[in-house]
Amino acid sequence: MGASLLQDAVKRCALVSQHAGIRAVLVHALHDRAKQFYEHYGFQASPVHPLTLLLRLPKSQVSF
């Protein structure tokens, strides 16, 4: 269920990014296991805080 919710959230962000300046999805993992979950789906850890992860949206979806 978690993967389905994440997929839906990312799809919705991608749709909104067509009309707004959204370039990425940012999440704050609560613990290492959650971090591994997000990394499995392509999120990358922030250099500032290891439990903050970022998923860049495709450029074709964020261009104006």
What CATH number is attached to the domain comprising 46? 3.40.630.30
Strands of 3-63, DSSP E: 24-28, 44-45, 52-56
The pLDDT score that the predictor gives to residue 59 is 62
Query: Is 41 annotated in the active site?
Result: no
- Of residues 26 and 63, which shows the higher confidence score? 26
What is the residue range of 46's domain? 2-62
pTM equals 0.82
Mean pLDDT of 35-63: 87
Residue-wise pLDDT for 8-42, tens only, equals: 999 999 999 888 988 999 999 999 999 999 999 99
User: In the chain, how many domains are there?
Assistant: 1
Q: d(Cα 24, Cα 51) in Å, to the nearest integer?
A: 16
The pLDDT score that the predictor gives to residue 63 is 41
Question: Which candidate in 6, 29, 38, 43 is catalytic?
Answer: 38
